[in-house]
Structure 1
């Protein structure tokens, strides 16, 4: 355990971490990959180029310093990170390597007294043990459950369906023909691969986009493109992976999922953020008991994934759908709107005081929707969300 003096030292370093956090984490990654280039096969190197990973890590390091005497505040973040680490295959022996690089970066950037380095070394060791123990529990749980496994498992692509001009669904069955792990709708799997010509082994996490069916998994992947190189794997999946090819997958993981409850559910998604919501929607429809409100935003009807299913369940006894198209709706209907998602238009239809709200989509969209929910006085404990990529908070 940390002494009160050590806690005070770490907390007192929080302002410096807020100011120089990205300098520290940027240097940390340089040190880490120079000393241990093999770790570049685990970390998402595209996020390194864009800077999103160092920003996310800086936020996490600052949060630890700020709440070192009240770690319950960041337990949600710890669980989110542990779940992602498990899908990546992080091992206990990686933690000392990361800790050494982080302490060296703090020392180089801040040049603090030795007492600060010593306090952070002890604090990091305690936090590392939390992650190691939680991740080991996840590995054990997954390997011991029916259909589970350790590490990665080979799956064959048995079908490939274009949902929109940018989103394609991939249907995957295990090569060994045995059972597969159950999952809670909202969770993801990691695809482990090294495309021809790629410098590093690549790992990407994709939400499972259908209800569990015991035989196969479905992921629906958006073909990404950006100046920083996002889209290396999504483009490879779209353009080069064909029916009959083999992919290596992790078990399903993730702390964002449909809660067990009888409360009404409001699913709100934008663009490819529809993927975990689709798994939730299919599960809820097959269960047939909970009141469901499905709200989705897309560029237009052509870019509305799973549109046919949504049209078929419109205004059923259980499910009500509301679709927002940024461009004019090609198929005008009572439940279609033009523009961005606007919950003010729906407030008389939504059970604001009793529902659980699930959000997924572009960060700007989720921040806007979260602000609307707070204006409508929805409690934070009833709002659940998933951010694709390096995590960011909605309340900023």
Structure 2
């Protein structure tokens, strides 16, 4: 337990962290990776280049300082990070390395004095123990499930299917031909690989994009490359892998899952953000109990709408009501709209008391979140996942 004085000291750091947080976390990663280069096999170095990782960590450190006297406020963030750590293979022995680098960065940037550093050391120790215990439990849960395992397991690509010009689905089955553990729609797996010419292993998380079929897993990967280097692994998967190749896979993880309620469901996605939504849609429409489901998707055009044929078939069977927004379209069919997703255009068609799930580009998600808030939808009814380091939509 932290003392009252340690809590007071940490909370007093909040304004400084708001101003210098990203400078501290940027320096933290420099120190950590310089002293422990083997950790480059775990950390996403693309996110290091783009600055996304230091921004996400700065937000987390700031939140800890702000709510250190009421940590229940950030329990959701703790669970999200613990799930991510479990998919990356983070272990208890990594935490002292991280703590040492973080304290060194705080001291270097802020020079706050020994008492402040000591308080932060105590605070970090408590937070680290929370993560260590939760991640230990996750490793044990994943290993003890029917068909479960710990660390990585070899899977064979048994099928590849091009969903759009940029998105390809990879169907994976275990090379040992054993049972695979069940997952909850919305979860993801991590793929471990080392592209040619890269000095370090690359780990990426990909949402499972279909309902569990007891045979294996499906991920649907968008091929992309921009000036920040994003797309290194996705391009490698698209260009170098073929049916019969093997990839290393972690057990399913993630807390962005369907809530166990009887409420109507509205699934909202943009672009490749459709992947976890497709898993949710397939799961919901396969269930025996009746539950009202609406599917809202935004894409560049019909050609870039992944799983469109599957959606059309479900609409035909009256399993789901679909609302598709296309930025480029010549003629509109029933349930189609021109432009970006606009909830105002269809809100009269959506059920009261629904649970909303959102996934897609951050700009799109922020816009959808604000639209839902304008319609007086409560935060308790809104669930979302941001690909990459977490960003708040509020």
TM superposition score normalised by structure 2: 0.99
1:242 deviates by: 0.6
Contact 1:360 1:385 in 2 (8 A): yes
Structure-2 separation of matches of 1:318 and 1:238: 33
1:297 is matched with which residue? 298
Question: 1:290, 1:318 within 8 Å by CA — same for their partners in 2?
Answer: no
Q: Distance in 1 between matches of 2:220 and 2:319?
A: 25
Aligned to 1:221: 221
Matched, 1:383 2:382: yes
Offset of residue 326 of structure 1: 0.8
Q: Distance in 2 between matches of 1:30 and 1:348?
A: 51
| Deviation of the 1:317 alpha carbon | 3.6
**How far is the alpha carbon of 1:344 from its aligned partner?**
0.7
Question: Pairwise mapping of residues 146-225 of structure 1 onto structure 2 (< 5 A)?
Answer: 146-225=146-225
Matched, 1:357 2:356: yes
8 Å CA contact 1:361–1:387 kept in 2: the answer is yes
> Quick one: distance in 2 between partners of 1:315 and 1:12?
59
What SS class does the counterpart of residue 149 from structure 1 fall into? coil
Q: Which deviates more, 236-245 or 320-329?
A: 320-329
User: Alpha-carbon deviations, 1:67-122, whole Å to 9, x = none?
Assistant: 00010110000000000000000000000000000000000000011000000000
What is the aligned-residue RMSD (CA, Å)?
A: 0.8
User: Aligned to 1:212, what secondary structure does the other structure show?
Assistant: coil
Cα shift at 1:259: 1.0
1:220-259 maps to which residues of 2 (within 5 A)? 220-259=220-259
Task: Determine the C-alpha separation between the residues in 1 that align with 2:316 and 2:25.
Answer: 49
CA distance in 1, matches of 2:90, 2:321: 41
Q: Secondary structure at the match of 2:181?
A: coil
Residues 329 and 338, structure 1, Cα contact 8 Å, conserved in 2: no
Residue 66 (structure 1) aligns with: 66
User: 1:137: how far off?
Assistant: 0.2
Shift of 1:62: 0.4
Which residue matches 1:86?
86
Match of 1:55 in 2: 55
Aligned to 1:140: 140
Match of 2:348 in 1: 348
Please state how far the C-alpha of 1:345 moved relative to its aligned partner.
0.9
TM-score using structure 1 length: 0.98
1:155-185 deviations in Å (ceiling 9; x for gaps): 0000011100110000000000010010000
Q: Which runs of 4+ in 1 moved over 3 A?
A: 315-318
Q: Which residue number corresponds to residue 281 of structure 1?
A: 281
Shift of 1:262: 1.1
- Deviation per residue, 1:352-391 (Å, 9 max, x gap): x311000000000000000010111111101000000011
> Quick one: distance in 1 between partners of 2:202 and 2:251?
16
Worse-matched range after superposition: 318-327 or 296-305: 318-327
Q: CA deviation at 1:260?
A: 1.1
**Structure 2 gap segments, 5+ residues each:** none
Aligned-pair distance for 1:312? 1.5
How far apart are the structure 2 equivalents of 1:172 and 1:348? 41
* Aligned match of 1:393: 392
Cross-structure match for 2:308: 307
Distance 1:226 1:58 in 2: 24
Query: After the TM superposition, which of the residue ranges 332-341 and 97-106 deviates more from structure 2?
Result: 332-341
Secondary structure at the aligned position of 2:349 is classed as coil
- Contact 1:300/1:329, CA 8 A, preserved across alignment: no
Conserved 8 A contact 1:315-1:321: no
The structural deviation recorded for 1:223 is 0.6
Structure 1 range deviating more: 287-296 or 175-184: 287-296
CA contact (8 A) 1:190 1:203 kept: yes
CA distance in 2, matches of 1:329, 1:235: 31
Equivalent residue, structure 1, for 2:321: 320
Residue 274 of structure 1, CA deviation:
0.1
Aligned residue for 2:321, secondary structure, equals strand
**How far off is 1:329 after superposition?**
4.9
